[in-house]
Structure 1
Amino acid sequence: MIIKNASVFTEEGVFVKQDIYTKGTQFVKTEGEADADEIIDGEGCFAVPGLTDIHFHGCVGYDFCDGTQEAIAKIAEYQASVGVTSIVPSTMTLGEEVLKGVCETAAAYRKAGSGEKEADLCGINMEGPFVAESKKGAQNSTYIRKPDAGMYDRLNEASDHMIKLVAIAPEVEGAMEFIQSKKGEVVLSTAHTAADYDTAMEAFEKGATHVTHLYNAMNPYTHRAPGLIGAAADAGAEVELISDGVHVHPSVVRNTFKMFGEDKVILISDSMMATGLDDGDYSLGGQAVKVVGNRATLADGTIAGSATNLMDCVRTAVKKMNIPLETAIRCAAANPAKSVGIYDNYGSITPGKIANVVLLKKADLALESVILRGKKLS
């Protein structure tokens, strides 16, 4: 395939008008190497890498924790259709046996291989159950437990070592020991926590490097109590940010980039099963959720994930929050792929990588087409 005349997002983080060449499922350097049987005119379009969402729960009526290959396939197909071509879906705070089944199903799905219209399943984000009761958010308190390295090991084994991130509240008993024992093995993400600055700094010093959905399910940043947010900035941690227009105010989004720098910000959707569907009643982690517009809430009003896919979060960041497109794409494609260790194959339009490209109309960032593993989706 050859894509001509598009403004292409490069590894340097800028748009350059140039051609893109693919052979089979990969990008190649020259026209002579490319499969020339299909030529796409990208005039009037931005060509960006397929996005990578490393934190979301579901869409189109399915949840990753349904624990079925059908659910994963439907989720992966929807994500690819909107330009999210590699996925790391998240578990919820559930019992170990349920989580084991989810992990086993994910391993079986990946072994079987993605369907031709499905995003690649690149790992698992283990969001629970090692969280703090006081900041559980939409996590189910029935299944919250202390950090348990043995449980993590069992689940990781069941998933065929697919767990890329594990969430942990630094202040709970056993958290620091868990962080020390798993440093370098998995991305350790501070999450659903009331940790103060000193406790959070200790967690980062011991090996945590990541923050789950910054600002949400944690103490606020104030001038006398900077908490986890201040500690993350001082430690140079990478932070997830939900730019759906519901979870974080636009001013805070803009200032987060000033505080952390665009190389440390990862845009995520945190989407749940209502994404891609109409308003109504849904569930998340076994709890009832009401969705109106793009706001999803539990019965008590607690925000319960989002109803917005990652590509729409990018559009919101650019069009409503004044984040430069180049920055938003970097934070939704390159940064997440780097975070979970898959940047060798995903996250940029680079020879040798998987040929995932999204063409967006320059006029309004509407989707023109998605090229998944070197093939244009119909």
Structure 2
Amino acid sequence: MTGYFDLQVNGYAGVDFNADSLDDADFVRVCRRLANDGVDQILATIITAPIDTMIARIDRIARAMDEVDEVRRIIAGIHIEGPFISPVDGYVGAHPKSAVVPANADVADRLVGAGRGHIKMLTLAPESDPGGGVTGHLTDQGIVVAGGHSDASAEELDAAIDAGLALYTHLGNGCPASLPRHDNIIQRVLARSDRLFISFIADGHHVPDFALGNYFKCVPDDRIIIVTDAISAAGLGPGNYSLGDQTVEVTDDGAAWSADRTHFAGCATTMPKMGQILMHRIGASETQVKRWTQDNPHRLLFTR
């Protein structure tokens, strides 16, 4: 690999992967823009929605991958984020609470089936999967299961890891702004960084630079993964953009806010910009940035 590998892309350059009316030209356009921005491959991310809606959106991406070589070269697979996440305010983040459901193997199989072999990762809250049954079921199929949008206890995290949980999705986000000062989901996950890959959004908004630097000191270099969590606004500047059925406002400083301004809703920052932030504001080396944005995500999906 010579370019970035982004495991979490909800959309890019005006194209929303969670929209209900995409054609092949949309996918080609976004893949060309990603390639121009130095991105070799991504996982197209579908977020929580009613199950039939998620299935239709997954199917549309899978068909484009099957039918268009240019799309298949850039979109390496599909990441399903939800619907098996915490419905609690703060932890649910930008996902519609009404569509959140407990983890269920039959529902998981319907979602995976819609992807026709292209589902590479699924993010769930471990507490929504007591005993890790769905986690193990998906892991046995070669799908990376990640924790996220979760307030799993230490015991629930350990049980999920034992069942196959391999990653924690965008740590420091998908949780309330205020948490118990010691026993909270961030500390619990950091304490398990020898057993989990951990992804972070390095846009300077989702996690302040100083906090991100602190997190990096707690996580081995070979377990850090940078994701953009990009939405259709990525690379376009301020304005109003779509993320599924909601509108996101990108402000002049590049932050992507929910309509009510209570939380971030995806990200408008590109991976090249994140690379600059990591080196110039966090102090990471070029070798570290390459490891976090290319080597580690590839290893998680294909060689771990």
Give the TM-score taking structure 1 as reference length. 0.73
The residue that corresponds to 1:296 in the other structure is 256
| 8 Å CA contact retained: 1:140, 1:287 | no
For 2:121, what is the secondary structure of its paired residue?
A: strand
How much does 1:157 deviate? 1.8
The residue that corresponds to 1:156 in the other structure is 112
Output one character per residue of 1:311-351: Cα deviation in whole Å (capped at 9) or x when no partner: 211111111111111101111011111112179xxxxxxxx
Residue 232 (structure 2) pairs with residue 279 (structure 1): no
For 2:265, what is the secondary structure of its paired residue?
A: strand
The residue that corresponds to 1:182 in the other structure is 138
Output one character per residue of 1:159-200: Cα deviation in whole Å (capped at 9) or x when no partner: 111111111111225572212322342111111012222222
Q: Equivalent of 2:79, from 125, 133, 154?
A: 125
Residue 156 (structure 2) pairs with residue 199 (structure 1): yes
Query: Per residue, is there more strand in 1 or in 2?
Result: 1
Rg (Cα) greater in structure: 1
| 8 Å CA contact retained: 2:129, 2:135 | no
Residue 286 (structure 2) pairs with residue 325 (structure 1): yes
| 8 Å CA contact retained: 1:169, 1:192 | yes
CA distance in 2, matches of 1:228, 1:183: 24
The residue that corresponds to 2:225 in the other structure is 266
Q: Equivalent of 1:144, from 84, 100, 120?
A: 100
Query: Per residue, is there more helix in 1 or in 2?
Result: 2
The residue that corresponds to 2:46 in the other structure is 91
For 1:241, what is the secondary structure of its paired residue?
A: strand
Give the TM-score taking structure 2 as reference length. 0.89
Amino acid at match of 2:188: G
The residue that corresponds to 2:183 in the other structure is 225
| 8 Å CA contact retained: 1:211, 1:232 | no
Amino acid at match of 1:308: T
Q: Flag structure 2 segments of 5+ consecutive residues without an equivalent.
A: none
The residue that corresponds to 1:375 in the other structure is none
Amino acid at match of 2:5: T
Cα RMSD for the two superposed structures: 2.2
| 8 Å CA contact retained: 1:188, 1:209 | yes
The residue that corresponds to 2:197 in the other structure is 238
CA distance in 2, matches of 1:55, 1:334: 15
Q: Flag structure 1 segments of 5+ consecutive residues without an equivalent.
A: 1-47, 344-378
| 8 Å CA contact retained: 2:153, 2:188 | no
For 1:166, what is the secondary structure of its paired residue?
A: strand
CA distance in 2, matches of 1:133, 1:199: 17
Residue 275 (structure 2) pairs with residue 314 (structure 1): yes
Q: Equivalent of 2:29, from 58, 74, 82?
A: 74
CA distance in 2, matches of 1:341, 1:241: 20
How much does 1:232 deviate? 4.8
For 1:167, what is the secondary structure of its paired residue?
A: strand
Amino acid at match of 1:120: I
